[in-house]
Amino acid sequence: MDSMENGKCKMKNEFIEIKKICSINTGKLDSNAAKNNGKYPFFTCAPQPLKIDTYAFDDNVILIAGNNAGGKFHINRFNGKFNAYQRTYILTTNEDNDIDYIFYNLKILLQNLKKSSQGSQTKFLTKTILENIKIKKLQKLEQKKIARVLSVIDEKIEINKKINEKLEAMARDLYEYYFVQFDFPNENGEPYKSSGGEMVYSKELKREIPKGWEVVSLNEYFDFIKGIEPGKKEYFENWNSDLVPFYKVGDLDSQKTVVYVNKKYLNNCSCKENDILVSFDGTVGKVAVGLKGVYSSGIRKIKKKKKIEINKMLLLMIFKSFDIQNTIKKYATGSNILHASESIKYLKIPYEEKIYKLYNEQTKSIFEMLIQNQLQIQKLESLRDFLLPMLLNGQVKTMDNGKCK
């Protein structure tokens, strides 16, 4: 029973080990089992699942990356058919517990997992460590109430992410239609190439492009501004008013930073929400937009330096296109860590001002909506992360008919 103290509810804190409420298994596959166009999610130690053709599990689960450089263990929730890497832990629970409640507890315990992890360069989380993690013991009804507050926020975040995926798909389809298939509308409103528009071979691009188009080098019209790399002693894991997010190459996948640096770095290499960021070191060719803060030396901010009819939406599509991605990777050097700075001088595109301007006009509102949604996602994530520890620690309590539960 909870007691009353000065008119306030005093919660009785009891904790229970994960092994007593969860079954813990692992996947069986190597990470190279992934297939680009697979039907099912394939959970590895990466922040987001890959794809695969077959599934080995069909359940309502929590998935935890068992190893990751730096001891950052990604946690995911999934319900349905999937497959998993052999170092990915798969947690299920019984009908007496709410799996979302367990999931949110494990999210807040990420730092403890990091501190408990073993290994030198590649950190790994043992099953024993995971089994002995303790969370607050509550009745299932109270678990569900706490989890519901957080899951409503997460549901809205997922809706925004899906909207952004569709917005980007619309812009990508139009890009492919205009600048890959070259079926932009001709003077009669008909698709140029399909209706017999003349094509000529470009030696620079090694493919045919519409007659009258030119080939431009991106570094002639854009600056590729390199970021900075503060030392580890300058990283902070918790935000405060003197700090700003610091994005490394690995953060471009998840669109979320895990460390912060002093605001003084804003004077050096800062990025705004509508800036296009591309990785040129490490995992080269990652592209991101919607990030505000400071970025590392492995990333370049793409900034226009001369007038050209390429807006931010078009720039985003250009750097996600097959040709540009292939060029970045083709000229990258290095064995263990790739460096693609030399690729910049080889980045070229076919260009015709009128058609590029048309694409800009047709996608301007798409980019604006994409950025607005991304900003809302970040605000919702901040709200969720703010509420998360308070709900789980009992600082914010659920109420039933004005009574503490």
What pLDDT score was predicted for residue 306? 92
Q: Which residues make Cβ contacts (< 8 Å) with residue 14, sequence separation at least 6? A: 136, 137
User: Which is nearest to 246 in space by CA: 293, 299, 300?
Assistant: 293
Phi-psi region of 143 (alpha: psi -120 to 50; beta: other; left: phi over 0): alpha
Distance between CA atoms of 216 and 224, rounded to whole angstroms? 16
Domain boundaries along the sequence of the chain: 13-137, 195-351
CATH class of 195-351: alpha beta
Residue type, 51: K
Rg from Cα positions in the chain: 25
Q: Give the pLDDT of residue 119.
A: 62
What's the DSSP call for residue 185? B
The pLDDT of residue 1: 42
CB atoms near residue 371 (< 10 Å): 18
3-state SS, residue 193:
coil
* Spatial distance between the Cα atoms of 15 and 370, rounded to a whole number of angstroms: 42
Longest Cα pair distance anywhere in the chain, in angstroms?
84
Nearest-angstrom CA–CA distance, 333 and 190: 43
Two tokens at 41?
A: 């999610």
Residue 347: enclosing H or E segment and its boundaries? none
User: pLDDT at position 252, please?
Assistant: 87
* pTM score: 0.80
pLDDT (tens digit, 0 to 9) for every residue of the chain, 405 residues total? 444 455 554 556 799 999 999 999 999 999 889 998 899 999 998 878 999 999 999 999 999 998 875 667 888 999 999 999 999 999 999 999 999 999 999 988 866 666 566 665 557 788 998 999 999 999 999 999 999 999 999 999 999 999 999 999 999 999 999 999 999 999 999 999 999 999 999 999 999 999 999 999 999 999 999 999 888 888 887 777 888 899 999 888 776 777 889 988 887 789 999 999 999 999 999 999 989 899 999 999 999 999 999 999 999 999 999 999 999 999 999 988 899 999 999 999 999 999 999 999 999 999 999 999 999 998 898 888 888 888 887 776 654 544 444
For 13-137, CATH gives 3.90.220.20
